[in-house]
Amino acid sequence: MTLPDVTFADFHPILPALILMLGGAVLLFAEVFLTPSAHHGPAHVSRAHQPIIALVFTAAAALVSGWLMFQPARAVFLGFAVLDPFSAFLSLTVCVGLGLSVLIAAGFLRHRKAERGEFYALMLFGAAGMSLLGVSNELVVLFINIEVLSVSTYALAAYLRRGPRPAEAAFKYFILGAFSSAVLLYGISLLYGATGTTQLSAMAPQMSAALAKTQGLVYLGLGLLLGGLAFKVAAVPFHMWTPDVYEGAPTPVTALMSAGVKAAAFAALVRVFLALGHNLDSHLLATLFAFLALATMVIGNLLAIPQRNVKRMLAYSSIAHAGYVLLGVASLFVSGGAPTGGVLGATPLATGGLTAALRQDAVRGILFYLLAYTVSAVGAFGVVSALERREEEDRGTAWDLDRFAGLVHRRPWWAVAMTAFMLSLGGIPPLVGFMGKLLIFKSAVDAGLVWLAVVGILASAAGAYYYLRVVVYMFMRPAPETGVLPERHGWTEAALLLSTAAVVVLGIAPGLISSWLSQAGKLFGQ
């Protein structure tokens, strides 16, 4: 029997996750060993330091991810995981989302007097799962990492147990999440049966043989795999859980879900289908993703329009944004052989096949979009969390549009920040969301999905309506006479400041990260 040849270099791609896990463990121990119990003294002494511990470890993980971005792509742990700039960029995006969510959580929990170290520990464990999901190159490892991030977020969603809403959100999230994980796993087991392996690099060369022998098994397995991942990214028609879960979960958790969970699930989707899609009928894959993108963009935006509850509106808008990313994913799979005049409206480029350079551009577009969405959406949830009041949560008016009325007169900086986030989410130049949409739509057009790109632009024009409505409420409506001035939280305001800076700076000068981005298009084996 040969022993696996594992060296320290194999641990490089999982270093960010290891740092985050270590941070989580430190927070757990700080909670039980250092925090004085209620009998012995004031509990808030060391609890004030918990967000700082979490932020230090998050920053360390982000730095290591930045270093990994420039390492040569290679397979590690016998091919079970890979080190590539793609996963490093994802890890960085997750750390950005995590850091901002921790800041929001610090203000949020202080306000609710619910400060406990486990909250940050769970966030760090979940983020570790997200980071590991990006490097997974084996389907069972992928499943385990999905579970690591899901189990942490189930617990976080149920964290504020008082009141029926968080429990309900956690329950719905748990049942549908566990259901989709089971669907995903069954798909993996069928693919294992068809190819005899669960490792993506080993599976890809087996695909054509498996297709010839057991076609049904392969298609069913891939279909279930796609269904499971579509649940995680909240693509229509697997989106039903999103609004309730996003509304009911504590707002910092919603921020982490919308940013990190979604980005990690998209990374897994891209990696799996790029590895296995080669031997499939690429027209089928492109059509499938194109229809998913179409349905998700249109339905997400349409459902968001009538929402007066801003948190729920942001939930629907996150579905719509998943649609734009899916548009980028669809353009990855457009390649030669597409019949002209088909659904996709093939252009010369499409019939000629997508070149490696264009495919890298599409991957870059997806990654940049995920980063852009992370900073904009987490910032928006930060404003929502600063404005909400616990007393009104059970009545469902805690996030009503009226709470934003006249915000510019009460907290002008919050209003300005929220405006930046709304305009960025709406894809209005010169903010980062616009750059993200530009990259996505450009790669869609390059791939010949012109028709779909046009629908995407129309859908985002419709989306601008509900984003601008929030801006109108903040600037044009009078503030309620009796309204209590929302309390300021230093932590939350730091998150708002950082997100606003990112939204504006990355929008005006995306060249700042262009060296990273040009790296990040490289996936291992592609």
Partner 1 sequence: MVPITHYLVLAAVLFMIGMFGVMVRRNALVVFMCVELMLNAANLTFLAFARQRGDDLGHVNAFFVIAVAAAEAAIGLAVVIAIFRSRGSVQIQDIRTMKH
Partner 2 sequence: MNPDPLAPYLPMAVLLLLGGVLAVVISFLASFLGPKKPTLQKATTFEAGSESSGHARQRFAVKFYVVALLFIVFDVEAVFLYPWAVKFRDLGWFGYGEMAVFAATLVVGLAYVWKKGALDWET
Considering the complex, what minimum distance in angstroms separates the CB of residue 53 from partner 1? 24
Residue of 9, 32, 175, 209 that binds partner 2 (CB under 8 A): 32
Considering the complex, what minimum distance in angstroms separates the CB of residue 4 from partner 2? 8
**Angle at CA 360, nearest 5°, toward 359 and 361?**
90
Q: Where are the alpha helices (DSSP H) in 113-163?
A: 117-135, 139-157
Q: What's the DSSP call for residue 76? A: E
| Residues whose CB is less than 8 angstroms from the CB of residue 67 and which lie 6 or more positions away in sequence, other chains included | none
Considering the complex, what minimum distance in angstroms separates the CB of residue 441 from partner 1? 32
If we measure between CA atoms, which residue out of 275, 294, 299, 298 comes closest to residue 197? Answer: 275
25 touching partner 2, by CB under 8 A: yes
Considering the complex, what minimum distance in angstroms separates the CB of residue 31 from partner 2? 8
β-bridge partners, 76: 81
**Cα separation, 345 vs 452, whole angstroms:** 9
Residue of 7, 8, 33, 482 that binds partner 2 (CB under 8 A): 33
Residue of 1, 212, 484, 485 that binds partner 2 (CB under 8 A): 1
Give DSSP secondary structure letters for 420-435.
HHHHHHTT-TTSHHHH
Stretch that binds partner 2, among 21-29, 291-299, 360-368, 447-455 (CB under 8 A): 21-29
34 touching partner 2, by CB under 8 A: no
* Encoded tokens for 158: 């149920």
Q: Give the binding site for partner 1 (CB under 8 A).
A: 140, 143-144, 147, 151, 154-155, 158, 161-165, 167-172, 174-175, 178-179, 181-183, 185-186, 188-190, 192-193, 196-198, 243-244, 247-248, 396
Q: Which does 80 bind (CB under 5 to 8 A by kind): partner 2, partner 1, none?
A: none
Q: Which does 190 bind (CB under 5 to 8 A by kind): partner 1, partner 2, none?
A: partner 1
Q: Which does 321 bind (CB under 5 to 8 A by kind): partner 1, partner 2, none?
A: none
Residue 371 exposure: Cα atoms within 13 Å on the Cβ side: 32
Q: Which does 32 bind (CB under 5 to 8 A by kind): partner 2, partner 1, none?
A: partner 2
Q: Are 296 and 320 in contact (CB under 8 A)?
A: yes
Residue of 9, 17, 29, 272 that binds partner 2 (CB under 8 A): 29
**Cα separation, 402 vs 396, whole angstroms:** 12
Residue of 6, 48, 305, 357 that binds partner 2 (CB under 8 A): 6
Residue 4 or 348 having the CB closest to partner 2? 4
Task: For the chain, state the CA radius of gyration.
Answer: 22
Residue 189 or 201 having the CB closest to partner 1? 189
Residue of 7, 12, 19, 28 that binds partner 2 (CB under 8 A): 28
8 touching partner 2, by CB under 8 A: no
**Cα separation, 400 vs 487, whole angstroms:** 17
Considering the complex, what minimum distance in angstroms separates the CB of residue 465 from partner 1? 21
| Residues whose CB is less than 8 angstroms from the CB of residue 29 and which lie 6 or more positions away in sequence, other chains included | none
Residue 161 or 488 having the CB closest to partner 1? 161
Residue with tokens 């349409």: 302
Q: Which does 196 bind (CB under 5 to 8 A by kind): partner 2, partner 1, none?
A: partner 1
Q: Where are the alpha helices (DSSP H) in 356-488?
A: 356-387, 407-410, 412-425, 432-446, 450-476
Residue 186 or 451 having the CB closest to partner 1? 186
Q: How far is CA 405 from the centre of its chain?
A: 29
Residue 106 exposure: Cα atoms within 13 Å on the Cβ side: 23
Stretch that binds partner 2, among 2-10, 345-353, 424-432, 463-471 (CB under 8 A): 2-10
**Cα separation, 398 vs 389, whole angstroms:** 6
Amino acid at 403: R
| Residues whose CB is less than 8 angstroms from the CB of residue 384 and which lie 6 or more positions away in sequence, other chains included | 251, 310, 311, 314, 399
Q: Are 251 and 309 in contact (CB under 8 A)?
A: no
Stretch that binds partner 2, among 27-35, 240-248, 319-327, 507-515 (CB under 8 A): 27-35
With both helix axes pointing from N to C terminus, report the angle between 490-508 and 85-112 in degrees, rounded to the nearest 10: 150
In terms of phi and psi (left: phi > 0; alpha: psi -120 to 50; beta: otherwise), the region of 75 is beta
Considering the complex, what minimum distance in angstroms separates the CB of residue 439 from partner 2? 40
39 touching partner 2, by CB under 8 A: no
Considering the complex, what minimum distance in angstroms separates the CB of residue 3 from partner 2? 6
Q: Which does 462 bind (CB under 5 to 8 A by kind): partner 1, partner 2, none?
A: none
Amino acid at 242: T
The count of chain residues that interact with partner 2, using the rule CB under 8 A, is 9
38 touching partner 2, by CB under 8 A: no
Question: What number of residues does the chain have?
Answer: 526
Residue 147 or 402 having the CB closest to partner 1? 147
Task: Give the residues lining the site for partner 2 (CB under 8 A).
Answer: 1, 3-4, 6, 25, 28-29, 32-33
